[in-house]
Amino acid sequence: MKSAVKKRTLNIVRNPAGALNKSFFLLSNPDMRHKETKKAHDLLRRFQETLAPLPSAIHDG
């Protein structure tokens, strides 16, 4: 699971439009919607956890 999230995160960073298109395609499929929504929430949480310390680190440095 971790490697899949990492790979997906890298894909979003490298190719945001492609990642969004894939997400919209998967969200349009009712069977995939719940799973993808959960993945999106997990990704958002990870990004927030990763980025939250940055502003204070920049100001302290």
For residues 6-31, average pLDDT: 64
pTM above 0.75, yes or no: no
Q: So what's the pLDDT on residue 48? A: 80
What pLDDT digit, counting tens, does each position of 21-46 carry?
666 666 666 666 677 678 888 888 88
Long-range contacts of 9-13 (CB under 8 A, 24+ apart): 9/43, 9/46, 9/47, 12/43
* Those residues with Cβ within 8 angstroms of residue 24's Cβ, 6 or more apart along the chain or in another chain: none
Quote the percentage of the chain above a pLDDT of 70.
Answer: 26
Of residues 7, 16, 61, 17, the one with CA closest to residue 39: 7
Q: So what's the pLDDT on residue 51? A: 73
Q: So what's the pLDDT on residue 21? A: 65
Residue 24: other Cβ atoms inside 10 A: 10
